[in-house]
Amino acid sequence: MTLTIDGTALDNIPFGWEVLGDTEISSSVSNALIDAQASGRDGSIARLRAPRSAPIIPVVMETPKANLSLLRMLLRSGKILGDTDTPGRFAVMECAQIADTMIYAANGPDVPELHEVRAMLKLPEIYWYDDTVTTSAAVSIVGSAGTTRYATVFPGATGPNRKSLVRLKGPTISIIVTDVVSQTYFTYSPNLPASSYLRFDAETGKAWVTNTDTWFGGTEVTEFVRTGRGPYPLELAPAIVAGVATTTLAITGTASTGATIEVRGQARHDR
């Protein structure tokens, strides 16, 4: 296991850097507690959404004095944290605190002065992202207004995703897309022709219609979109299904032959 910052390994023989045992690699995610009570009723109101706090990773290292400034610079200005135990993933990071102490004085040319460096690395976006952007296979959503169809996306992802793009291909009318776990949703009531695609941005809540198979551009139709049930326009949240972390979307509304749904984005993970 080796931590990296912006691609540079912290366990680094050429620089004389060594990550010590006090480093806590496994970051934790905590929820702020919300204790709301209804007048005249015992207990608290359950299931109030609690904001998640950014994890802090303590890093303890040893470095020769000659490369102390280089290490401090990397910790202070680094933006991307990686871990060889989870290849293909990264976390956005920032340094919340850094300090160093001399632990050994130099003793001749072969024994350099050594310093212990302690840093607190904050993960402001909480979760780890896949390096690559993936697009789910197109799933048929053909059905009448009274039926519900399902599509699973980001298989194995354990973190909620709020930065994905959801794309529908017509023909549809009065379509509703809901995340099964978070219950956040978006609706698009107008008729979407068979040759058109509706692209919804889960982070911003904006939407566009294109007449070609593309994930860019188009005519903005955000005024015809409605979202609900959450601080985020659409949160794709996983649950354990048959022993596997699974993210599921439920689709209702009228969709005729050829109508499909796809999701594009970077899967997120607790680690």
Q: What local confidence, expressed as pLDDT, does residue 188 receive?
A: 98
How many CA atoms lie within 13 Å of 165's alpha carbon, on the beta-carbon side?
16
Q: Record the pTM.
A: 0.86
CA–CA gap between residue 159 and residue 225 (Å, rounded): 26
- Name residue 176's beta-bridge partners: 187, 252
Per-residue pLDDT tens, the chain, 271 aa: give them.
Answer: 689 999 999 999 999 999 998 776 655 566 665 666 667 777 666 655 667 788 888 999 999 999 999 999 999 999 999 998 889 999 999 999 999 988 888 777 777 899 999 999 999 999 999 999 999 999 999 999 889 999 999 999 999 999 999 999 999 999 999 999 999 999 999 999 999 999 999 999 999 999 999 999 999 999 999 998 878 899 999 999 999 999 999 999 999 999 999 999 999 998 7
Do the Cβ atoms of 180 and 199 come closer than 8 Å? no
Give me 171's structure tokens. 């023909």
Q: What local confidence, expressed as pLDDT, does residue 55 receive?
A: 87
Strand pairing report for 89-92 and 128-130: antiparallel
Do the Cβ atoms of 19 and 60 come closer than 8 Å? yes
Do the Cβ atoms of 235 and 163 come closer than 8 Å? no
CA–CA gap between residue 51 and residue 244 (Å, rounded): 25
CB neighbours (10 Å) of residue 128? 24
Give me 270's structure tokens. 């607790």
236 burial type by CB count under 10 A (0-12 exposed, 13-18 middle, 19+ buried): buried
Give me 98's structure tokens. 């850094």
Give the type of residue at 165: L
Report CA Rg, the chain. 24
CB neighbours (10 Å) of residue 167? 23
Sheet holding 8-9, edge to edge: 8-9, 3-5, 80-83, 89-92, 128-130, 268-269
Comparing CA positions, the residue from 55, 239, 65, 253 lying closest to residue 158 is: 239
CA–CA gap between residue 34 and residue 256 (Å, rounded): 44
Quick one: the chain helix, strand, coil %, rounded to 5? 5, 45, 50
With b meaning 16 or more CB within 10 Å and e meaning fewer, what string describes 180-191? bebebbbbbeee
